[in-house]
Amino acid sequence: MNVTYADLKEKKILITGATRGIGKALALSLATQGAHVVFNFREGKEDAANSLKDELKSAGATNATALLFDITNTAQMKEALDAFISEHGAITGLVNNAGISKDQIVLRMKEEDVAQTIDTNLKGAIMLSQVLSRSFLKAEDVSVVNISSVVGLMGNASQIAYSASKAGLIGLTKSYAKELASRNIRCNAICPGFIQTDMTDSLNEKAKEAYLSQIPLNRFGDCQEVANLVSFLLSKASSYITGEVIKIDGGIYI
């Protein structure tokens, strides 16, 4: 079921990591709602970015823009966004979705994996929020949604760096919400449980069965279900909600 919100039409919404998984489902969902969808891609991924742009336009996007920047490269990010804003005006929705996980038990964790996980999942979202803040202040009805995870709330064995980065996003969400609420800029986080994507497909069958046995709704989540929740938080339908952390996990963490 694809829920739609009329006010998302022609909003300019940046989604990081939209080339696959949850980000792609969300980008397509926002395109069908008529938004101007903006997404980033990394060097070497031009073909994938161009084909996503075409897909978004065919799905109904008012416009679709692909920006070349790595979420861990703040200078590249700033250059791409400054150019976009001077041409198209302020971005009015941001979804910090790009993320990686490099799971390992504590004794085998490598420092470079920890650094890369924190840089991508947490520092990237903090810097992007900062880079866009000046233009947010001049815009109306800005909504930021950070994609955290239930493991940021409940922890998970073998996911120390990933869980810490996702818990950090909750701190970012609440602080950003408090700091910018007086300017009518809202910021919320969602905590997905097990959603079927390439990221979770890489788990072995035993691990998947173990997760399934803990989910009261007895199934994994679908990307469209996450897209529906994010659309709600981006739209005026959630105009009195800020600093909130919403689980979408089939009940795995009740």
Task: Tell the smallest beta-carbon distance from residue 118 to ligand NAI (Å).
Answer: 12
Q: By C-beta, is 154 or 241 nearer to ligand NAI?
A: 154
Sheet holding 63-68, edge to edge: 63-68, 36-41, 12-15, 93-96, 142-147, 185-192, 245-248
The region that residue 10 occupies, defined by phi over 0 for left and psi between -120 and 50 for alpha, beta otherwise, is left
Nearer to ligand NAI, 139 or 149 (CB): 149
Measured from the CB of residue 184, what is the shortest distance to ligand NAI in angstroms? 26
Q: Clarify whether 162 is annotated catalytic.
A: yes
Nearest CB to ligand NAI, comparing residues 160 and 195: 195
Could you tell me what percentage of the chain is helix, strand and coil, using 3-state DSSP and rounding each to the nearest 5? 50, 15, 35
The residues with which 223 forms a beta bridge, in sequence order, are: none
Nearest distance, CB of residue 24 and ligand NAI, angstroms:
7
Q: Is 158 helix (H, G, I), strand (E, B) or coil?
A: coil
Q: Contact positions toward ligand NAI, by CB under 6 A?
A: 16-17, 19-23, 40, 42, 70-72, 97-100, 120, 147, 149, 192, 194-195, 197-200
- Asked if 13 contacts 40 with a C-beta cutoff of 8 angstroms, the reply is no
Catalytic residue IDs:
162
